[in-house]
Structure 1
């Protein structure tokens, strides 16, 4: 097993097309790193450079202390699972699993043993004689993963492997993948635009946008301490409330209400307040930061209602400030005045121009 290092990777197709501008990160043995970001952020291009399917314009790919930047894909001892499964339709499951080993001239007895072990691990024993056209999407995906596992590679690469599955099947296969790769000790690099996959599967997440890593951290840290506005808005469902507010003295003004800026050395003319809907609650008498407004939209989400509230005194009627809250379904909210609490330990502050976080939640907690 080996550490995978990416050093200042850049991929330039033309002066106007630079999907990867400068990316550096490290994946240790046993780590599951997810490259998360919207379409066009560079995540699949990074994966292809790791695999050797694209050559970097600049930068290095290092595996186990050895540079492999320009080594051929077949010489990298990496296994890749594609979005389209990429199974041979004329071969059985057993033949698909064994195909990569045969190309490497692995002895027949060892091939048989490895195929049997992977088939048992993935629950494919009864499918070994079937062809891909005779199987469901979830079964084909397990075969694609099995073909990667049977190689016993140094690194596993997965390019949006669940995107072709329906929602229920995706949830089941996602749980399977988490268990399967928990038993592997090799680095795993997983590409997706689905934040649920990133948060549930990963030991570490790299959020990408515009060719750069916006934040690299464990999933819980990404969620609770977003480094900038992009990460705050991209990670989390429902999306974080992000409100651009004017400042006066040591306060941010949200409509008729003042919110103290407790731990910001230099207060700017404007600031962005961020708070997740699940952290906004119906106000209690003992709450410190209370706002009031009128409910104008209620979205039923099963266990909760997503309630949208126009804050009193916030801008004009044509440009109101809206706060969304995840509230229990035991009360019906419809076009009525409501008081909401914004717990100070859950508030994030961001710079309007750079988008960078101005204060971490942990420091707010010590001041409040």
Structure 2
């Protein structure tokens, strides 16, 4: 078993181009870590640094307590699955899967056994004599996965392996990947900009932006307890409502309505209010925290309606709140009363973007 650790990793190309600034991560034997973030955030560069395809400017990489920072890729015992599949077009499926083992001069009988096992686990038995050009994208991706599996590596690295697949096929292969790597018991590092992949596959997610880790946590905590404005805005679809509001005493002013602030030492002049559209409700009698507004847009998403509401008392277009409502829900098209359950409200500092409540808990040792 091998634990992957990276400490204070930095990659600098020029003084203005620093894709990885200072990243420290640990991935245990049975963990599936996803690096999630927008294009240019540094996630693929981190993967290439772990693989040895690029050398870090600073920092240290260890696999199973072995320092591999300056080792070539072939000496790290890692297996990488690329976005482009990277299959040999002139080779059959069998030869593609076996290629890495042959380079290591693995005995022929052992190669046959490992290839047969990987092909069986990925449903490739009937395709062993085909070449990549004779297969679909999903089949080629499974061949690339099988080629990684047969190597029995210390670490698996996957660089956006599903991005070239259509939506239905992506969902199918995603489920296969989850089952497959649950059985491997080695560290897995997966790179994607797709939050659905990150949330469904991972035991841990590292959300990155501008070369820094914004939050490292379990998927449920990334979603329910975002550490800052970037994480809150990036994770979730539809995106979280994030509104900068003026404060009066212990209240934030949402149009004509007052929302009680959390228990923090000082009362700010402004604060960022956040609530996910699926946590906004059509008000019932038992809800004490409600606002009124006019529905200005309704989008049918199939299972739900996404409605945009201009909050009463706000200036035109200045405060728009979105709510995700079931399609069997009815409301007055002219005016709607919405409930904002306090347990789903997030508060962020206007200047730093940090979650205020979590920061306060840390300050008092909670």
* TM-score (normalised: structure 2): 0.97
Cα pair 1:347 1:361 within 8 Å, conserved: no
Aligned to 2:259: 259
Aligned to 2:202: 202
Q: For residues 320-349 of structure 1, what are the alpha-carbon distances to aligned partners after superposition, in whole Å with 9 as ceiling and x for unaligned?
A: 201100112124557410000000000000
Query: What is the distance in 1 between the residues matched to 2:201 and 2:109?
Result: 34
Aligned to 1:366: none
| Structure 2 CA distance for partners of 1:362 and 1:297, relative to 1, 3 Å | farther
**5 Å matches for 1:1-368?**
1-314=1-314, 316-317=315-316, 319-331=317-329, 335-360=333-358
Q: What secondary structure sits across from 1:233 in the alignment?
A: helix
Cα pair 1:273 1:347 within 8 Å, conserved: yes
Query: What is the distance in 2 between the residues matched to 1:330 and 1:199?
Result: 28
Q: For residues 176-216 of structure 1, what are the alpha-carbon distances to aligned partners after superposition, in whole Å with 9 as ceiling and x for unaligned?
A: 00000010011000000000000000000000000000000
Cα pair 1:345 1:361 within 8 Å, conserved: no
Query: What is the distance in 2 between the residues matched to 1:286 and 1:330?
Result: 20
Q: For residues 245-273 of structure 1, what are the alpha-carbon distances to aligned partners after superposition, in whole Å with 9 as ceiling and x for unaligned?
A: 00110000000000011322222110000
Q: For residues 260-310 of structure 1, what are the alpha-carbon distances to aligned partners after superposition, in whole Å with 9 as ceiling and x for unaligned?
A: 113222221100000000000001122121000000000001111001100
Query: What is the distance in 1 between the residues matched to 2:171 and 2:179?
Result: 13
Q: CA RMSD in A?
A: 1.3
**C-alpha deviation, 1:361, in angstroms:** 12
Q: For residues 34-72 of structure 1, what are the alpha-carbon distances to aligned partners after superposition, in whole Å with 9 as ceiling and x for unaligned?
A: 000000000000000000001000000011112110100
Query: What is the distance in 1 between the residues matched to 2:61 and 2:153?
Result: 16
Which ranges of structure 1 fall in alignment gaps of 5 or more residues?
A: 364-368
Cα pair 1:278 1:325 within 8 Å, conserved: yes
**C-alpha deviation, 1:360, in angstroms:** 4.3
Q: What secondary structure sits across from 2:356 in the alignment?
A: strand
Cα pair 1:308 1:325 within 8 Å, conserved: yes
Cα pair 2:264 2:360 within 8 Å, conserved: no
Query: What is the distance in 2 between the residues matched to 1:175 and 1:286?
Result: 40
Q: For residues 80-106 of structure 1, what are the alpha-carbon distances to aligned partners after superposition, in whole Å with 9 as ceiling and x for unaligned?
A: 000000000000000000000000010
Cα pair 1:298 1:333 within 8 Å, conserved: no
* TM-score (normalised: structure 1): 0.96
